[in-house]
Amino acid sequence: MRIQFKTEGGIAYFPGLAQPVTFESDQLTPGDAAELKRLVDAVRFFDLPKQVGAPPRGAADYQTYTVIIEEGGRSHTVHMTDFIKETEIKHLLNFLKEKSRKFRGGTP
């Protein structure tokens, strides 16, 4: 499974540091790869709409995330915000945030 994760916006947004992070699930530890698969399946990622989590009217300084997952010949892109209500989607987003920081820092 290939993941591309991009963060934009927020108070401390630096475009140079917001480059997308791309990694393969086989670059993760076996436990993390299994957790990623579980989270993707739990949220039925390939069935999600293109936009998840709408900001309330007047919201400012929030982050947006673009998640692209490719697996088994299919690809799906979902745009998310900090305003997600679904617990499992929040768990997936938090997992991807953590892993993207590690890959950006050079340590998977």
Each residue's pLDDT tens digit, 53-103: 877 787 767 788 999 999 999 999 999 988 888 999 999 999 999 998 887
Residue pair 35/62 in contact by the 8 Å Cβ criterion = no
**3-class SS at 68?**
strand
Whole-number Å distance between alpha carbons of 83 and 35: 23
Each residue's pLDDT tens digit, 8-60: 876 665 665 567 899 999 999 999 999 999 999 999 999 999 999 877 787 76
